[in-house]
Chains A and B, each alone.
Chain A
Amino acid sequence: MTAILETKSVTMQINGATLVDGIDLQVKSGEMVAIVGPNGAGKSTLLRLLSGDLRATRGNVRLKQRDLHSYPPSQLANHRATLSQHVNVTFPFTVEEIVHMGAGDMGTVAARPLVDAALNEVAISHLRYRQLPTLSGGEQQRAHFARVLVQLARGEAEHGPGLLLLDEPTSSLDLRHQIELVEIAGRRARDGTAVIAILHDLNLAVRFADRIVVIHRGRIAADDVPERTITDELVRDVFEVEVAIQHHTDGSPILLSQLMQPIRM
């Protein structure tokens, strides 16, 4: 499998502070990668470097063997879709209109099958004609996820497997919708998309990911399959929490908050 995304010693400094420090990362087509780490570790900055929002101070990001910043915005949107954490819409656009925004300059009729499929997949077809600002936070987040799925589908139809970036996509979702979102992302990966998601819930990351990348103080502290990444030692060293990790029958780690104790320093 070819690498969709590749970074070489990517470093980001803002006002003298090093937020991201020499990250080497490779994500292949069909891979699901979870990025985890404590607050302020540099996860969001890293994701903004990967999406093209920020330009690295040093190092480079390559998307499909081409420098990320060599793509004009309209082309970049064909190859990578991004779901941001907070999107605040002040105008009374309907859910359908918002989701259709993922279709670029495709007309309403041409984009209709893509929009229908995405609305169905995130199970918000019944909210289609509702105004987005009147919906709950979780419903809005799912509508934006549907919009991003439309963008991804449109790009992949023409250009093959792309990159899907998710910044804490489950932050406002209830349990059921968290798991559903993870399953949708999983289906995309099985179809070849490279998926990278920042997640806070380590259990969800374990379930979600082929690989977990742990970011600590701007660097990669671990990058491996979930069973080898999420260990008592790592959780203690990076998250400063003492925990006895349990194991599921398939060997995947389970972290129970009942068994966690913050380390006082």
Chain B
Amino acid sequence: MIKDGVISFFLKAYLVVLFIFVFAPIIASVIFSFNSDRFPTIPLGSFSLEWYKLIINDPDIAKAAITSIIVAISSSILATFIGFCTAYSDYRYDFRFKGPYLALALLPPTVPLIIMALAMLAWLSKFGLSGSVLSIVLAHTVLCTPFAMAIIRLRLSQMDTSLEAAAWNLGASEWSAMREIVVPFARPAIISSLCLTAAVSFDEFAVAWFVSGLNKTIPVVILEIVQGNIDPRVNAIGTFVFLTSMTLVIIAQVIFMKNQNKGAVSG
């Protein structure tokens, strides 16, 4: 009979190996971005900021960064708004076809991106919208809304239903109860949702690649560079993107966690 401790040890060691595998490409990309070699190997070349200089002076990348930021901000606001409406409807009401209603809201992540990309391209072209920044915003909003909805729904489930009812009894209209009670209570989730959906949009490349035309976002630029050859600029851009996304994710996490324990009393 093998001791439990030994099994435990091997399982934990395995866990560490798995985490190394998952994080290896991310860490490697950050390291490679400071490495002078075009074809990084072991031993590494010398420390260099060459790739960063190259991308900072590239007007195409600056333009793509601006497009990415515009798209991320617009679609995160739209997705969070629609996500809030849906989460609130689910929280507050029972109605016929609620099952299909929720399915409609939550299904987009189960459709492969490449299929969404083709469908979006064809549909938006039909209305002469493809190739515009707007088309990326519309598509990203669809992809981001389920996440927004899930985060806000999670927060609303912590809200005591009698809180709103109490406000009505005290003479508040439904609208002012929404403004004074529900929105403030959901605020941390709304901010988290804005950050997370912006991060999702900032990293999405398949749909953006199909519908963007000449208005490329950062991931689309990466995709096109990668198609060419081994170009370490990708690592430098990737490190930028990684830092941006991580900042957003950490802000979201901290805000959400901090307010997680504040229940209905303080809401």
Q: Do A and B associate with each other?
A: no
Interface residues of B (CB under 8 A from A): none
